[in-house]
Chains A and B, each alone.
Chain A
């Protein structure tokens, strides 16, 4: 009963470093997405995927890359970290794009960029 698993839970980076946030789900969900949560701003969509091999940009995609080679995994890559990317990152998934499907969230990754 793992659901949506995110790793790591905490990460500190220096400006310019790169890293990958991992997200995996075991529910055979087609739809996966990445959000960032900043104080007072709610969650903002970074990238999403409607199936393996298909990705698209959300509201705040700059500075982030994604790929979807399998149904289970949807990693988020920061190529050159900036202090503005300090945030809490959430991965979420749902069965598909139908209107009656709830979104399931991982527990988040708290990222600090110094």
Chain B
């Protein structure tokens, strides 16, 4: 059974600092890994998707890397802003099933 872990559970940084969020998974036989953002009381929004054959994906200030052999992914958010405050979840896809981490709740202080 795939286990996905996100550390830390919560993170508070001053505005402008770079954010580094970690995700680890136990079974490297994955189809892809996705990073999601969830705002309080809302659904999840997909930020980045990395296919199993890729090493990283970038979108604006966001960059996600994938090391399948070691079972790790990292989400980097450059020059954080208060609007980046949210919970970030990673999920790995095995066939048709996604396994989620519990998320990292980020607070960016103005």
Contacts and interface: CB of A to CB of B under 8 A. Distances in A.
Interface of A: 4, 31, 33, 35, 40-45, 48, 50, 56, 58-59, 90, 92, 97, 99-108
Contacts of A101: 49
Interface of B: 4, 31-32, 34, 36, 41-46, 49, 51-52, 89, 91, 93, 95-103
Contact of A42 (B4, B42, B46): B4
B109 to A, nearest CB: 24
Given A99-B31, A102-B46, A104-B46, A43 B96 contact: no
B97 A42 contact: no
Contact of A108 (B32, B43, B96): B43
Secondary structure of the B side of the interface?
strand
A100 B32 contact: yes
25 contacts: A31-B96, A33-B98, A40-B102, A42-B102, A43-B44, A43-B100, A44-B100, A56-B96, A90-B44, A92-B44, A99-B32, A99-B52, A100-B32, A100-B51, A102-B34, A103-B34, A103-B44, A103-B46, A103-B91, A103-B98, A105-B36, A107-B42, A108-B41, A108-B42, A108-B43
Given A33-B98, A97-B96, A108-B41, 20 more contacts: A31-B96, A40-B102, A42-B100, A43-B100, A45-B99, A48-B97, A56-B96, A90-B43, A90-B44, A92-B44, A99-B52, A100-B49, A102-B34, A102-B49, A103-B46, A104-B46, A105-B36, A105-B45, A106-B43, A108-B42
Nearest to A48: B96
Given A90-B44, A107-B43, A99 B96 contact: no
Nearest to B31: A99
